[in-house]
Amino acid sequence: MTSSPLAPEAHVFDVPGRGRAIRATDGTFLRVRPGADESAARAGVAVRAHRDLQHRWTTRCTPARVVGDHPLLDTLRDVLPDAGIDVVAAGAGAVTIGAWLPGAARPDDTVVSPALEIAIEGALVFVGPLRLDATDATPSQVRRRRHAAAIDGPELAHWHRTVDDPRHDFGRAAHALVAARVLDVLRAWQTDPGAADRLRDVVWRFDDHALTTSEHVVLGFDEPHP
C-alpha cells in the first residue's frame, strides 16, 4: 500500500483491489470511485478537518484562572492555551484552578465557583472535586473528610497543618497525567452534565512513585453554626 500526504493527519492511498481511499482526521475512510474527482474528495476531507477544529469544545470553554506557584501549574498554563482554552489573570465567570500544598495557609473556601483544586502532597496529587456551587465540598471539607476516613487521620491532619511543602520533582508522566485529568474535568463540565455531576463528588488521586491513579468519593456537608 502506498500513501501520500493530503493534509496534516489526513492521507490518500491505494488499497489493492479496491482503488483509492482517503483517511480523514476523525479516523473515517472515504472511498474514491473510479473516474470521480479526487481533488473534490480531498477538499471535502480538508474542510471537514477544519470544521472539526473550529467546533472543538475548548473553543467554547469558559476561560481558566490558574492560581499558584508550582511546576505542575506551569504545565497547565502551557497546555490549556495550546488546547484552545484562554488562561486569564482575572475575570468574572472564569474557572479557578488553584494549588494547595502542606504547611500553606488554610485553603480559600470562599473562591467563587466554578473552581477546581489541585492538592500537591509530596509525590501525591489530588485533583477535585469540581466545585460549581455552595453545595459542593470545599477544599477544607475535602481534607477534613480525609482526616476522618484515614486510620492515621491525626497524623495526616498534623502533617497538613505543620509540615513545609516537601517539594517533589515530578516526572513528565505526572505532568501529562495531571494536565489530562484537568482537561477531562473541564471537558465533562462543558459538554457532559451527567459526568460533570459525578465529578462534583470525586477526588482523583495520583501517586508519582507508583504511577497509579484512583478516584474517591468526597461529599460536601453543612458546616456547624459557630
pLDDT at 2: 41
Model pLDDT, residue 56: 77
User: Within this chain, do residues 74 and 114 fall inside the same structural domain, yes or no?
Assistant: yes
74 in a domain, yes or no?
Answer: yes
150 and 197 belong to one structural domain: yes
| Whether residue 165 sits in one domain with residue 203 | yes
Sign of the alpha-carbon dihedral angle for 163, 165, 166, 171: positive
- CA pair distance 100, 172, nearest whole angstrom: 20
Tell me how crowded residue 144 is: count the other CB atoms within 10 A of its CB. Answer: 17
Range of the domain at 12: 3-55
pTM passes above 0.85: no
Dihedral sign, Cα of residue 83, residue 84, residue 89, residue 92: negative
Look at residue 92 and tell me if it is in a domain: yes
Q: Is residue 222 part of a domain?
A: no
Q: Are residues 30 and 95 in the same domain?
A: no
Q: Which residue has the higher pLDDT, 27 or 87?
A: 87
pLDDT at 118: 92
117 shares a domain with 185: yes
**CA pseudo-torsion sign 167, 171, 177, 183:** positive
Query: How far is the CA of 26 from the CAs of 22, 74, 191, in angstroms?
Result: 11, 30, 19
Examine residue 225 and state whether it is found in any structural domain, yes or no: no
How many domains, in total, are found in the chain?
Answer: 2
Within a domain: residue 226?
no
pLDDT in tens, 14-34: 888 787 888 877 777 877 777
Give just the sign of the alpha carbon dihedral 79, 84, 87, 92.
Answer: negative
Do both 12 and 93 map to the same domain?
no
Report which secondary-structure segment, H or E, holds 83: helix 71-83
* Domain-embedded: residue 44: yes
Distance of CA 223 to the CA centre of its chain: 29
Q: What is the mean pLDDT of residues 98-114?
A: 66
CA-to-CA distance for 77 and 64, rounded, in angstroms?
A: 9
Do 100 and 152 lie in a common domain? yes
One domain, residues 49 and 26:
yes
Instruction: With a cut of 80, say whether residue 6 has pLDDT above it.
Output: no
The mean pLDDT value for 142-169 works out to 80
Say if residue 120's pLDDT is above 80. Answer: yes
Strand partners for 181? none
